[in-house]
């Protein structure tokens, strides 16, 4: 995980966290020599970042796969080489392209062993309990607003046959652990989780009964969930993990756009009218 501001790869992370793909890449660099790179790419290389591959991207852009310390990012440069673009590239039909480019131009990590561990992780189950049409695993922090928005966006899909297994972690502050522990120690975890989401308020203080975890084993499971999230190269919440119909494991870091959810869930697009979610279309 790249948490230190002094880390040579952190300038990309600070500019656009959504650009981080979270893939481990292998193989030789097939790009030109560093002296031929645009100045922004040269500066990244000088900071210890590796250029793994270049590729032709949409609208005559050049795509660059950059990597360091097991974390990777895709960035783009304009045809004249004077401008670098960091973030999701979306085509004229509204389709995000970063994930497509990542799968096309870079070897994919093998998450098979980590997925088996994920299936055994302590979680909160929502949605279809019997014979779900699809299953998502979502790492969440009780203080994370984008986890809350993701929860709201997935509600119509749960009614359409989706099962969501919410994996609690504690990464956003001192109150994250006691809030998560209160949910996981509840007699009815799902009801406790839903109550938290329905009453969510950014920066809300601890509620009555949400002091230091009374059960050390619960706190330990939440800590291990955080370690498991790192194994999927997810550096923030929410983090979504799922298998497609072919059994391939996919990872999505951050709040998905509403247009992405049908692909992620494998379900038909559901109507979402919540005004808070319109900015995520």
- Domain co-membership, 197 together with 100: no
Low-confidence ranges of the chain (pLDDT < 50): 1-11, 13-31
- Domain co-membership, 179 together with 65: no
Element spanning 261, H or E: helix 261-265
Q: How many domains in the chain?
A: 2
- Domain co-membership, 89 together with 143: no
- Domain co-membership, 143 together with 239: yes
pLDDT tens sequence across 65-115: 998 766 678 999 999 999 999 989 999 999 999 989 988 887 677 898 999
Residue 212 lies in a domain: yes
- pLDDT number for residue 14: 40
Which of 74, 105, 136 is the endpoint of a domain? 105
- Domain co-membership, 147 together with 193: yes
Tokens 């980590």 correspond to: 114
- Domain co-membership, 119 together with 94: no
Residue 1 lies in a domain: no
We report the CATH number of the domain holding residue 58 as: 3.10.450.70
- pLDDT number for residue 207: 67
Cβ neighbour number for residue 196 with a 10 Å cutoff:
22
Residue 3 lies in a domain: no
- pLDDT number for residue 99: 85
Residue 5 lies in a domain: no
Residue 2 lies in a domain: no
Which of 105, 124, 152 is the endpoint of a domain? 105
**CB 166, CB 140: distance < 8 Å:** yes
We report the CATH number of the domain holding residue 201 as: 3.40.30.10
- Domain co-membership, 36 together with 89: yes
Residue 75 lies in a domain: yes
Element spanning 243, H or E: strand 239-243
- Domain co-membership, 50 together with 161: no
- Domain co-membership, 75 together with 199: no
- In our burial notation (b when 16+ CB lie closer than 10 A, e otherwise), range 134-160 reads bbbbbbbbbbbbbbbbbbbbbbbbbeb
Find the angle CA(58)-CA(259)-CA(86) to the nearest 5 degrees.
40
Question: What does the alpha-carbon distance between residue 25 and residue 53 come to, in Å, rounded to a whole number?
Answer: 10
- pLDDT number for residue 180: 94
Which of 48, 81, 105 is the endpoint of a domain? 105
Query: What is the torsion angle, in degrees rounded to the nearest 10, for the CA atoms of residue 14, residue 231, residue 74 and residue 66?
Result: 90
- Domain co-membership, 148 together with 61: no
- Domain co-membership, 199 together with 252: yes
pTM over 0.75: no
Residue 33 lies in a domain: yes
The boundaries of the domain holding residue 238 are 112-280
- Domain co-membership, 67 together with 116: no
- pLDDT number for residue 19: 35
């Amino acid at each position: 995980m790249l948490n230190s501001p002094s880390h040579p790869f952190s300038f990309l992370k600070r500019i656009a966290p959504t650009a981080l793909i979270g893939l481990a890449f292998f193989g030789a660099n097939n790009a030109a020599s560093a002296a031929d790179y645009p100045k922004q790419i040269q500066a990244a290389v000088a900071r210890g970042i590796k250029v793994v591959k270049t590729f032709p991207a949409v609208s005559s852009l050049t795509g660059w796969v950059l990597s360091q310390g097991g974390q990777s990012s895709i960035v783009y440069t304009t045809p004249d080489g004077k401008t670098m673009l960091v973030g999701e590239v979306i085509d004229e039909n509204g389709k995000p392209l970063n994930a497509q480019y990542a799968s096309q131009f870079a070897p994919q990590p093998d998450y098979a062993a980590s997925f088996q561990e994920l299936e055994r992780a302590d979680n909160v189950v929502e949605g279809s309990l019997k014979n779900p049409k699809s299953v998502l695993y979502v790492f969440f922090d009780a203080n994370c607003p984008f986890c809350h928005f993701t929860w709201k966006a997935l509600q119509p899909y749960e009614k359409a046959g989706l099962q969501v297994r919410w994996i609690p972690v504690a990464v956003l502050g001192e109150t994250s652990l006691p809030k998560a522990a209160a949910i996981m120690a509840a007699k009815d975890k799902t009801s406790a989780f839903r109550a938290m989401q329905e009453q969510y308020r950014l920066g809300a203080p601890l509620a009555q009964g949400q002091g230091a975890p009374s059960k050390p084993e619960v706190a330990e499971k939440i800590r291990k969930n955080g370690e498991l999230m790192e194994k999927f190269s997810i550096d923030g919440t929410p983090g979504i993990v799922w298998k497609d119909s072919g059994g391939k494991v996919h990872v999505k870091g951050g709040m998905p756009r509403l247009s992405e959810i049908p692909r992620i869930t494998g379900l038909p697009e559901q109507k979402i009218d919540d005004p808070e979610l319109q900015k995520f279309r």
